[in-house]
Each structure stands twice: as C-alpha cells, then as structure tokens.
Structure 1
Amino acid sequence: MFSQELPIYTALVLLVLPLYYLYSKASCRSKNPAVLPTNWPILHMFPSFLANLHKMNDYFTLVLAGSGHNFRAHGPPGTGMRLFVTCDPANIRHIFTTNYTNFPKGAEFAAIFDIMSGGIFTIDGEPARRQRTKIKSVLSSLRLVARIEAWCRDKVENNLLLLFTHMASTGTSFNMQELMSRLMFDLAAMPLFGVDPGLLSLDMPPMEAAVAMDTVMEVAYFRVVVPASCWKLMRWLNIGPERKLKAAHKVLRVFVMEMTERRMINASSVGNGKQHEGVDIMSSFLDDPYYTEDDMFNALTISYMIAARDTVGTALTWIFYNLSQNPNIVSIIRNELSPIASHKVAAHPDAMVIFEPDETKSLVYLRAVLYETLRLYPPAPLERKMVAANDIMPSGHEVHAGDTILISLHSMGRMEGIWGKDCLNYNPNRWLSEDGNELRYVPSHKFLAFSSGPRMCLGKDIAVMQMKTVIASTLWNFDVEVMEGQCIEPKSSCILEMKKGLIVKLKKREMLH
C-alpha cells in the first residue's frame, strides 16, 4: 500500500530539509520572529512546524499571543494537515460545552493513541457516555475512595518519607521527577489491581512499564504534530519512533497480564483476614462482559494507568520546582499546616508528621498553589479535537468538517488577555478571595487542567487529595533544594515532563518543641 507513496515522501523530505535549514537560520537572526508561521510554496507551514517540533508549546504561545489567541496552519496538499490552533476561552467553551458533539476526538485520535483505543479517552458518543457512567459509578464508591485515601497516606508514610529520610541523612541528590513517577505508578496500580507494584523503594527496582508509558506519550506527540501519512509510513516500515512504540506496547501488555495474575493470586487468599482485599477498580469491570474482551480490557487499564500516573506525577514535579523558586510561598503553606501539625508534634516530637487526606481537604492556600502550578504547567499541555461539521467559532473563525483543532492549555495560562499582565508570574494569590479564605471562581473553559463540560475529569478530587498529601507531608518534614546549573525544559511529549528530570537535595527540618 505504501510502496507507491515512497518516492513522494522522498521528494517531500528533499524539499523540507533545505527549507527547514533556511527557516531555522532566519529564526535565529530575527529578534522579532513573524507572528504567523511562514507559508512556503507547496509545503505551506509544515517546515515551520518541523523547525519548532522540539519547543512546540512555546512556539504556539508566541504565535497565539501575537495573533489574538487563534491561528490557522496548513501543510502540504494531500497530508490532511488543516489545523485551527486556539487558546481562546470563548472558543474553548464552544468546543467543550456549547457544541461539544461537533468536536469529537475522532478516529485519527484513536489511531494516534492506539494502545488505548476503545478506552474512555479515545471514544465519542454513546460508547463514551456508557464508559463514563461506569467509571463515575466506580469512583463514587465510598469504600473504594476510602481505600484510595488510605493507600495514598500509607504509601507516603511507609515509602516516600522513609526514602526521603534516607536521601536527607546521606546528602544524596536524586531525580524528584523519577520518584514522583514511581510513587504515582504505585498509587495508580493499587486502586486498579489491588496490588502494589513496589516501584517506590530504596532498591529502586526496574520500571519498564513506566518507561513504556513515557514512550507512548512521546510518540503520540510526534503523531499529533506530523501528517498522519508520515507516521503511518514509519509504522509500516517499522523504523524510528514507531519501532520504539511497538516495543513499548508489548511491555505494557505484559505488565497488564502480570498484574492481573497477581490480583487473582491475592483474590484467592481473601480469607487471610485482610478486610480490604478485593476492593479495586478492576473488579467492577470484570463483572461486566462488555469490558472483558482482551483489547478493550488492555485499553481500559492502560488508559487509567497513564491518566492517574502521568498527570499527578508531572504536576507534583513542577510544584516542587516552583516552590523551590519561591521560599515565601513555602512559608505560607507551612503556616497553613501548622495548626494541624502542632498537636502531632506535641504528641510525637521526633516522628515524621503525616497529614491525613481529611486534614488537608479544607486547606485553601495549598489548593491555590496546586492550581497555579497547573495553570502555568498543565500536565497535558495540548488537547486535540476534530470538526464533524462546518461551524463558526465565537472568535469569528470558520472551521470545516475534517479540520483538526489544537487547544493549547500551555499557551492559555500565559496569555495576558486572559490572566492579566502578571500572567507569567507564579502567584497563588490570584486564586484567592480578597480575605484569602476562599477560592475565587474560575470557569473551566479558562482553566482547562481538569477539562470542561461533559468530559470534565472524574478523578479530580482524588488527584487533588494525592497532591495535597504528598506536598504537605514533604514540605513540613523537609527543605527541598533544587540543584543549580540544571536546564529545566519540557520534553517533546503529550505530557509536560521535564526533559532531564529535576535533581534535588533534601534537608530534614529541625522542629522547635
């Protein structure tokens, strides 16, 4: 099928390379690059996208800031590259709420994330509604929520803080991003399978499945920003990122199989006196024949693992980074924690202070810190939608059936017209009422970190609980120092992870008794 297309792609590459070189040189010389991508003959804006592939989020922010929060982009004829890029809240409300049925994920989105095809994040219409209803029912179980909170609290106390204590006592620097990834991998798998993978421990066991998830999101990013015919050709030839992705898919399928087997072994020993055995998300889906077919089951479990691990783990890393740059904010968080911690310190002066999920639920400033981080560093910086039928956006732009819409969450948090002149400043106070006792209302189409409309994140409260528990327990017990000389930049991925991680050192805080 692709053999006849190969000479076409060879010619395309030969055309792109010199234009890419010229565009890169022009961009380097120009102190004020053009607002819109250069529209080349035949290739249109494809070379501009190619030249900025490694910094697409910043590139979108630059272009959107100079073009009124919206712009169009086109690629070579026949590639299907017809994009409408936006961070306009009015357009986002239209896409996610007012006329959301006209903006599905689409078949190409499911192809891009093929390992999750059939899962909640890749489907539309009635199948999506059915799965969403099922997941909402599962996550509303008080017994399961109580277990998720207990698992989080216990994992922080018995693994994370012990590991931090060891790092602090030995003065060892470490990659905070990797530790947050390990922590959230365990906390994602435990509610799903009822089994602890045990990645967060002193011996730092291999984390092949977690690395495979990173590969899925990195290759998906590549698939999102290049014409579909390009990556499909690479998949057919089994070369480049597609070869790496194929291996990652195999690792993830093996992981799901192994965890399912461990779950069955645990379930067979329910009579061992452990009252919480059998309380897991998988149990609810295995009771429904609709979800037990192998491909569907893999799609569901891998979708949940990626959503639960990547979003929270990435957000936690950026929170620690931003707090290290703002010690005054750390002091305010500790002051907010102090009334809770005081009686714990009085009762056990030399013990680590653990904050229960119920104790941090009402902490307003800590939540403002989380939201401010998510505003500037949304874990999923880009949303992708298709246009089902011709439409006119609130901004006045026409979109046509078959167009792709890219919503830049990363850019939206950096727009002066949306957040004010201090939009680039890290300022949790922007989320607080004048007296500081309540959160200000910010509509979801302006703050899209938890999505909006019918696809609003069902795990929002769980994610906030986990982030609060980790941040509160870490900041009260330790000072976190980010090592100097690091280049902090995001990797090219659908998840806003740091390219080289975040290297930190910890120092145990001396408490006044």
Structure 2
Amino acid sequence: MSPPVLLNLTQIHDFITDALKQHHVKTGEFMGPWFTKMNFIVTSDPINLRHIAIKNLHNYVKGREFREIFQAFGGTIIAADYSDKWKSTSICSTILGFDPGSLSIDFPEIATEKALNEAEECMFYRNIVPKCVWKLQKWLQIGPEKKMSRACRTVDQFLYPCIESTRKELNKNEPLLDDQAHVDMPLLRALMRENKGKAYEYDDKYVRNSVYGLLDAGRGTITSALTWFFWLVAKNPLVETKILEEIKDNFGDEKKLVYLHGAICETMRLYPPVPFERKQAIESDVLPSGHPVHANAMILISLYAMGRFQDVWGEDCLEFKPERWISEGGGIVYVPSYKFFSFSAGPWTCLGKDLSFIQLKMVAAAILRNYRVHPVEDHVPTLSYSFILLMKNGFKVRITKREA
C-alpha cells in the first residue's frame, strides 16, 4: 500500500478520506512493506474513538515510538501518556509572554516562528516514512532531519536564555538580561518558582520541554483554526452577516456569541487543527467496529476524514453550517467529544479547550467587527504538509476597514 500513499503525500488527508469512502468503511488497515513494520489501523469512527479515548483509554497510549517521532517536545505534556505526571501539567504556567512581532506591517521573518513550522513538517514526515529511513537521515544529517536539527537549535537558542535569566532572577533577584528586557514571562517564572528548592526541582531541560510543547501547541492550533475560519466566513457572506449582527447585539459578552461559537466549531469540524492522532495498543483488543487490534499495534485517528462522513454529520457534512451547532432554543448543541474530536475526549481532553475558545472568539470578533477579509482572487487554499493543518503558502487576502 505504500506507493499510492507516497504518490499522494501532498494531499494525504483527502487521500485517506477518499480511500475510506471508496470502500464504504470508517476503519481500515494500512499494510506497509514487511521490513518497515509500518502497519496501521486507520479509523474515523466515533464509536472506536469513544472506546480508545474513554472506555479503554489505559490500553491506548502514545508510546515510545511516538516520543521518538515528536522528540522535540521532550517527555512533557504533548508526548506524555495519561498518568499522574500528565495530570500535574494542568498548571497552566509554562507559556512565555512574548510578542515576536510577526504581524508587523512589513511581515518580518521570525526565526523562532519559522523553526517551529519546520519542526512540525519534519515530525509529520516521520509519521509517514519507515523509521529506518528517518533514523538514517538523522544520523547522516540529511534531508528533513537536517532541517529538524537546525529548527530545534533555533528554538533552543531562544528558550534557554529566557530560562537562564529567569532562574538567575529567582536565585539572586537579578534583573533580566538586556536582550531579554522586552520579554514578559510571569508564567515561566511561576513554574520555576513553584518548584524552587524542592527535591524535584525542574531542571532547564524539563522547563524547556514544557515551554516548547505548550508554546507550539497553543500557537499552531489557534493559528490553524483562525486561518480556516476567516476563509470559510469570507466564502459564506450570509454567515458573516449573522456573526456581525450577533457581535453588534452582544459585544463584550462572550457567552452570548452562540452563532460565532457554532461557526468556530464548524470550522474545526471541517479543518481540525490537528488532523490526525496516533495511539499504540498495549494489549490485544477488539474495536467496537469489529476490527482486531494486536498488542503494540499503531492506530491513526483521522479527524479530517471523520468530519466528511455523511453517516456521522449528515448529508450536508461538506457544507459550512454553524446552525448545526445551535438548538431550536438558541443554545449550543451538545456534541460528544468522541464525535467532535478536535480537543480529544475523556480524560485526554485538551487542558486549554476553554481558553482556546475565548481566544478564538476574541480575535474573530475584534477583526470581523472592524475589518473585511477579502481572499485574493483565484486563491485556492491547499493543505500544509504538517501535523498542524495550516494553509500551504498561507492565506492571501486584502484587508479593508469596515464602514461604521
């Protein structure tokens, strides 16, 4: 099965979706060459997700191979399995308060931003080629692995000085270094102060991994959701009109922006910021769909495909309809997390879910209230080659001031 996958690598998410639909299934098995050990179960079935993420979650972990692929995150929250260690990181205290200036009018190239994007692309690459291939490339420092090493060095050159200056400040009450004077890091400082002097005081590597993981997760997913949101709204003027009317009537009251909430959920249903998740079975099992799972078997969960199945979301599943999230009484419709899997499900549910919705609504409302977003004529968005679902080459638009 490898040749067609490799030939369709640049459109892998649509390829997986079409392959499942052609066989009229939501779960299937991918068989790689025998020497690569690249056999996967691919599923977009909510009943399987409920089993994996909630009912039998202790049997499905990220595992050692996941941590090798996503080595840039270290052993903290993103790469950790569900455990007391994972639960202890709900202390939202590891994100740097830093404005890189990437939205400056001259659109400067920010080295750290570019490095994070390149690392994401390389980690996606590791998921779809045999382990022996990317391991050899890493040893030889060629291809994507050379780019991965360079990206990690760039991020470290930013993070470690921040950590060092904060630790000095905590130990000796010294002021921040001159080149860090513009950086506000109360959350980083809180994490380090919380464990200062304790037997399990976090070392610089642990702090770096924590910051990297949450920084990349929050940055990439919010960016993805907002990009696709503005594109879908621009393509659906009636939706934009309804959002503007709601904002006008309820501006400042986030809880009453029900239609905007529905539009954001609908965006992530069609274009989930993280389009697939990867799990590994500890022991043999049988999925509710009837598919056997062997011990150590890999499972790929395609969120992108799940949003495009009629028997999951209805015959209008390919349409952008915020109304599907709104009840007749005007409230938000409850959708099980194993069906709307953008924030995972059960105990694995994203720790930043509520904060993410607040951020998304604030930015969306502020921009739409003041500006019109016009996609550049003939701009056709394509999916990025990354584990974060961005637009390849960005979203090209013209921005005009909205008349009062």
Partner of 2:270: 376
Partner of 1:93: 50
Question: Do the aligned partners of 2:27 and 2:41 also contact (CA within 8 Å) in 1?
Answer: yes
**1:510 Cα deviation from its structure 2 partner:** 1.5
Question: Do the aligned partners of 1:286 and 1:292 also contact (CA within 8 Å) in 2?
Answer: no
Q: How does 1:75-474 map to 2 (within 5 A)?
A: 75-126=32-83, 129-133=84-88, 135-136=89-90, 138-139=91-92, 192-261=95-164, 263=166, 268=174, 279-288=186-195, 290=200, 292-341=202-251, 356=252, 359-435=253-329, 437-474=330-367
Question: Do the aligned partners of 2:100 and 2:110 also contact (CA within 8 Å) in 1?
Answer: no
**SS of the counterpart of 1:280?**
helix
**1:100 Cα deviation from its structure 2 partner:** 0.8
**SS of the counterpart of 1:498?**
coil
CA distance in 1, matches of 2:277, 2:356: 19
Q: Does 1:63 align with 2:19?
A: yes
Q: Return closer, same or farther for 1:61/1:432 CA change in 2, 3 Å cut-off.
A: same
What is the percentage of aligned positions where both structures have the same residue? Answer: 37
Residue identity opposite 2:43 in structure 1:
T
CA distance in 2, matches of 1:378, 1:445: 13
CA distance in 2, matches of 1:265, 1:323: 46
Partner of 1:165: none
Q: Return closer, same or farther for 1:282/1:377 CA change in 2, 3 Å cut-off.
A: farther
CA distance in 1, matches of 2:204, 2:186: 22
Moved over 4 A (4+): 261-270
- Root mean square deviation, CA, Å: 2.0
**1:203 Cα deviation from its structure 2 partner:** 4.7
Q: Deviations over 1:358-406 (max 9, x none)?
A: x223311110010000000001001001111110000000010121100
**1:131 Cα deviation from its structure 2 partner:** 3.5
**Structure 1 residues without counterparts, runs of 5 or longer:** 1-44, 145-190, 271-276, 342-355
Question: Do the aligned partners of 1:376 and 1:414 also contact (CA within 8 Å) in 2?
Answer: yes
Larger deviation, residues 69-78 vs 193-202: 193-202
**1:281 Cα deviation from its structure 2 partner:** 4.4
**Structure 2 residues without counterparts, runs of 5 or longer:** 177-183
Match of 2:371 among 473, 478, 481: 478
**1:58 Cα deviation from its structure 2 partner:** 0.3
Question: Do the aligned partners of 2:374 and 2:397 also contact (CA within 8 Å) in 1?
Answer: yes
Residue identity opposite 1:301 in structure 2:
V
CA distance in 2, matches of 1:292, 1:478: 45
**1:251 Cα deviation from its structure 2 partner:** 0.4
Q: Return closer, same or farther for 1:206/1:54 CA change in 2, 3 Å cut-off.
A: closer
**SS of the counterpart of 1:335?**
helix
CA distance in 1, matches of 2:157, 2:275: 29
Match of 2:392 among 479, 483, 499: 499
CA distance in 1, matches of 2:282, 2:366: 47
TM-score normalised to structure 2 length:
0.91
CA distance in 1, matches of 2:201, 2:336: 34
CA distance in 2, matches of 1:200, 1:484: 22
- Structure possessing the higher radius of gyration over alpha carbons: 1
Partner of 1:53: 9
**1:99 Cα deviation from its structure 2 partner:** 0.5
**1:265 Cα deviation from its structure 2 partner:** 6.6
Residue identity opposite 2:207 in structure 1:
F
Partner of 1:349: none
Q: Return closer, same or farther for 1:286/1:51 CA change in 2, 3 Å cut-off.
A: farther
Residue identity opposite 2:227 in structure 1:
T
Q: Return closer, same or farther for 1:203/1:488 CA change in 2, 3 Å cut-off.
A: closer
**1:78 Cα deviation from its structure 2 partner:** 2.2
Q: Return closer, same or farther for 1:500/1:339 CA change in 2, 3 Å cut-off.
A: same
Residue identity opposite 2:87 in structure 1:
R
**SS of the counterpart of 2:260?**
helix
**1:192 Cα deviation from its structure 2 partner:** 1.9
Q: Deviations over 1:190-235 (max 9, x none)?
A: x723444444333544311111111111011111111111111111
**SS of the counterpart of 1:471?**
helix
**SS of the counterpart of 1:461?**
helix
Q: Return closer, same or farther for 1:327/1:261 CA change in 2, 3 Å cut-off.
A: farther
Q: Deviations over 1:15-73 (max 9, x none)?
A: xxxxxxxxxxxxxxxxxxxxxxxxxxxxxx11122112111100110112233101101
CA distance in 2, matches of 1:262, 1:309: 23
CA distance in 1, matches of 2:104, 2:175: 25
Q: Deviations over 1:230-249 (max 9, x none)?
A: 11111111110001111001
**1:489 Cα deviation from its structure 2 partner:** 0.5
